[in-house]
Amino acid sequence: MRNVILAFASAPAGALAGSARALLESTPAVLRTLLSRLPEPLVHVDEGPGTWSPFQVVCHLAHGEPDDWLPRIELILPKGASEPFRPFDREGGFVRYRGWPLQQGILRQ
């Protein structure tokens, strides 16, 4: 992992953007692979107070893209870093995707 971080740190900005995009585009497939064999009941198990289940992590990611990442990009591109981001509800996806099956629902988006 250290080598990956060093490679990103020393890469030209254009190369970094392309690599970052490729990594982000692979996230859904990686999550599907990691979670596809996990029985549905285990998808909802967390490790105790203050932790998230795999289902909640995926809900957070699915909710964050249209409600956090894209608005931030739309703010940064024309205005740079001069304007603060609006607050983001980190757990908003828990409500939005409540009751959805992980494999047939959220991970298929």
Q: What pLDDT is stored for residue 106 in this prediction? A: 62
Q: What pLDDT is stored for residue 75 in this prediction? A: 74
Amino acid, res. 65: E
DSSP 83-104: SPPPP--TTHHHHHTTT--TTT
So where are the chain's domains? 1-26, 38-108
Q: What is the CA radius of gyration of the chain?
A: 17
95: closest CA among 59, 62, 71? Answer: 59
pLDDT for 14-57, tens place per residue?
A: 565 667 677 777 888 888 888 888 888 898 999 999 999 998 98
pLDDT for 47-90, tens place per residue?
A: 999 999 998 988 888 888 777 777 777 777 777 777 787 788 88
Amino acid, res. 12: P
Taking the alpha carbons at both ends of the chain, their separation in whole angstroms is 29
Q: What pLDDT is stored for residue 48 in this prediction? A: 95
Q: What pLDDT is stored for residue 50 in this prediction? A: 93
Percent over 90 (pLDDT), the chain? 10
The DSSP code for 67 is I
Residue 1, pLDDT above cutoff 50: no
Residue 5, pLDDT above cutoff 60: no
Whether the full predicted model's pTM is greater than 0.75, yes or no, is no
